[in-house]
Amino acid sequence: MRNYGFIVSYDGSRYEGWQRQVRTKETIQGKLEETLEKITGEKARVIGAGRTDAGVHALGQYANVHLEGTYPADKLEDAWNRALPDDISIHHLEEKEDRFHSRFSAKTKHYRYRIRLSPEKDVFARRYVWQLGKPLDVESMKKGAALLCGTHDFTSFCGNKHMKKSAIRTVEDILLSEEKGELHMDFYGDGFLQNMIRIMVGTLVEIGEGKRKAETIPAVFEAKDRAKAGFTAPPQGLSLVEVIY
């Protein structure tokens, strides 16, 4: 049994998220496993570092898979890429030690959310940017972002009402920067709950719009109530940039 690790890049626009589902074949994990079986004849489970939501993209998702056969990494990568649809690509495929696990071995995940502040639409970026099209009070948003950092119970920022596992996560940093009419929001953390980043984005945008104060963030944590946080921002602005090991 060999353990192969690799980076996955994908445009998530037409997919129902990373995780394989029974009701649809349109998932990233499902496509990877389906095409892998075609070229190797093996039914294998592809493990991703993070389970991105429907419509969310990845520049540097990391994944691994255990295979019975022995395959030269460059040959496997080439054959797999040829079998995959044009909106999914793998690269840097290499053999890893047997105990390596894409999710459990990860130290930090870096996501970026992009918001267009300029009133001028960028039609070619519409799949990858939330086209808000109005200015925000970024300095106030930075104050709110600072209060979101640290180790907290993020129940109020979780889209899964029935989650039974711990909602405690550590957000290491949230960096906001403006570039060419866009606001980039970079999130670094040990792991994120379902919709967690998009709910944090929605909460920070409400602060930027003057609809809530940054100082209310601690009370949102304390409430452990999804209704107390902001709205869920659209998926297309979010990308998994990198997984750090």
State the average pLDDT over residues 134-157: 98
The CA distance from 58 to 13, in Å, is 11
Model confidence band, residue 184 (pLDDT cutoffs 50, 70, 90): very high
Model confidence band, residue 137 (pLDDT cutoffs 50, 70, 90): very high
The CA distance from 39 to 56, in Å, is 27
- Say what the pLDDT of residue 165 is: 87
Phi then psi for residue 232, to 5 deg, are -90, 115
The CA distance from 84 to 81, in Å, is 5
The residue from 11, 53, 186, 225 that is catalytic is 53
Weakest-pLDDT range from 4-8, 22-26, 60-64, 234-238 = 22-26
Closest of 162, 165, 151, 238 to residue 198, by C-alpha: 238
User: What type of residue is 29?
Assistant: Q
Phi then psi for residue 147, to 5 deg, are -75, -20
Q: pLDDT per residue over 186-241, tens digit each?
A: 999 999 999 999 999 999 999 999 999 999 999 999 999 999 999 999 999 999 99
Domains of the chain: 2-96 (3.30.70.580), 108-244 (3.30.70.660)
Model confidence band, residue 163 (pLDDT cutoffs 50, 70, 90): confident
* Residue 86 a catalytic site member: no
Given the structure tokens 């945008």, which residue do they identify? 205
The CA distance from 105 to 91, in Å, is 19
- Note the pTM of the prediction, 2 decimals: 0.94
Q: What average pLDDT is seen over the chain?
A: 96
Handedness of CA 224, 229, 235, 237 (dihedral sign): negative
